[in-house]
């Protein structure tokens, strides 16, 4: 499997594309709302169009589409860098199908945790909950992946410290993603693998 055909690379391109459109083409609207307003995670609130929107208003796509939104270039750049580093490791080890399941499961778990523990009208943006899920998967199965396990643990601890000390960080999503990643990793570790790890060409 070539790097350019990986889910990780394609996902980074898609997420970056959505950010660029939302940032530099704010007049692109859908249903009277900006692209960002249609995609970010929020439980329930009155939007600028005067209507009630959010997951609890029936807009369940926000649980997943939140990964397509970012606050600024720094936020996007940091998340995409970490996604590239971790995602390629996990994808190479598990293959596309299981890797897709990991991404979807961690994204949903992170979003649901955020919805349960965050005020109803506070929006959340970013893919970091899903990315913390990759940290969790590597923690659960990292030794089999051949990674430096101690370095992974240090990175997780440092990121958790940053999560709980910096302002405007959705710690709920980070925690939900991490825990779900560990659980998914343990489940996959117990399940038989059908093929050997893939090697980049």
Report the catalytic residues: 128, 174
Type and span of the H or E element at 85:
helix 73-117
Alpha carbons 51 and 33: distance in angstroms, whole number: 10
Q: Give 92's contacts (C-beta < 8 A, 6+ positions apart).
A: 1, 197, 198, 199, 200
∠ CA(55), CA(61), CA(93), 5° rounding? Answer: 125
Q: Give 51's contacts (C-beta < 8 A, 6+ positions apart).
A: none
Beta bridge partners of 29: 34
Q: Give 157's contacts (C-beta < 8 A, 6+ positions apart).
A: none
CA-wise closest residue to 159 among 182, 126, 183, 136 = 136
């Amino acid at each position: 499997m070539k790097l350019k055909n990986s889910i990780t690379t394609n996902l980074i391109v898609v997420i970056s594309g959505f950010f660029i459109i939302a940032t530099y083409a704010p007049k692109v609207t859908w249903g009277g709302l900006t692209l960002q307003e249609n995609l970010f995670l929020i439980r329930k609130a009155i939007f600028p169009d005067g209507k009630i929107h959010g997951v609890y208003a029936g807009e369940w796509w926000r649980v997943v589409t939140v990964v397509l939104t970012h606050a600024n270039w720094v936020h996007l750049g940091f998340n995409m860098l970490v996604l590239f580093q971790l995602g390629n490791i996990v994808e190479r080890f598990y293959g596309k199908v299981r890797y897709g399941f990991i991404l979807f499961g961690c994204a949903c778990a992170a979003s649901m945790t955020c919805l349960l523990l965050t005020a109803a009208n506070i929006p959340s943006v970013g893919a970091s909950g899903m990315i913390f899920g990759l940290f969790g998967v590597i923690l659960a199965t990292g030794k089999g992946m051949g990674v430096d396990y101690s370095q992974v643990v240090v990175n997780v601890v440092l990121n958790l410290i940053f999560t709980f000390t910096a302002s405007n960080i959705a710690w709920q999503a980070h925690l939900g993603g991490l825990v779900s990643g560990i659980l998914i990793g343990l489940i996959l570790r117990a399940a038989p693998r059908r093929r050997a790890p893939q090697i980049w060409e």
